């Protein structure tokens, strides 16, 4: 089972402060049950918004192939240990309109998934290790975890099996 947490999200932010940052809306709590219960979900998680691999490959890849994924699942979520403002600004900057952002600002969900790592070399603090998962009604069916998970920033930031093509191939063949 996935961890039961409440995500702090933002809705209705439409007043642009500059760049991609928007305010004017309100906080909305959303639970894991609201997002995952009685649904089949592709979740992919990454170290951080506005970072090179996340912005140039992983997030855009899932956005481009969103409609293909939707043939097999109810929704596609991108999760990062970033707050809702950062996730929303990043999605706006990247022009992401299909994949849904989940800001796990305190890392509680990520920790419960066993994917919280420290990234001292980059000065990131605690972040998510890169992975993707197929989740059916709050149960992890399949997880693609990048090799080398560690708390010392060793071996960089691998991106070989948490990509959209690996997930799509799994969905097509199962």
Instruction: Tell me 92's DSSP state.
Output: H
CB atoms within 10 A of CB 94: 18
Tokens 């691999």 correspond to 53
161 phi/psi in degrees, rounded to 5: -125, 0
**Under 8 Å between Cβ of 102 and 89:** no
* Strand residues in 99-169 grouped as ranges (E): 100-103, 116-119, 125-128, 131-136, 139-145
Provide the token pair at 37. Answer: 């219960």
For the chain, what's the residue count?
Answer: 174
Which residues are marked as active site?
54
**Under 8 Å between Cβ of 103 and 8:** yes
13 phi/psi in degrees, rounded to 5: -70, 110
């Amino acid at each position: 089972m996935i961890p039961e947490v409440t995500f702090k999200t933002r809705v209705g932010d439409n007043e642009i402060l500059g760049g991609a940052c928007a305010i004017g809306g309100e906080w909305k709590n959303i639970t894991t049950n609201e997002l995952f219960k009685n649904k089949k979900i592709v979740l992919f998680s990454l170290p951080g918004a506005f970072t090179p691999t996340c912005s140039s490959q992983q997030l855009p890849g899932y956005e481009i192939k969103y409609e293909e994924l939707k043939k097999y699942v109810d929704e596609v979520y991108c999760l990062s240990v970033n707050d809702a403002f950062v996730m929303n600004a990043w999605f706006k900057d990247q022009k992401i309109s299909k994949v849904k952002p989940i800001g796990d600002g305190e890392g509680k969900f990520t920790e419960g998934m066993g994917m919280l790592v420290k990234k001292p070399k980059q000065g990131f603090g605690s972040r998510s290790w890169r992975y993707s998962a197929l989740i059916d009604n709050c149960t992890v069916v399949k997880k693609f975890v990048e090799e080398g998970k560690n708390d010392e920033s060793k071996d960089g930031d691998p991106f070989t099996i948490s990509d959209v093509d690996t997930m799509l191939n799994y969905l097509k063949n199962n």
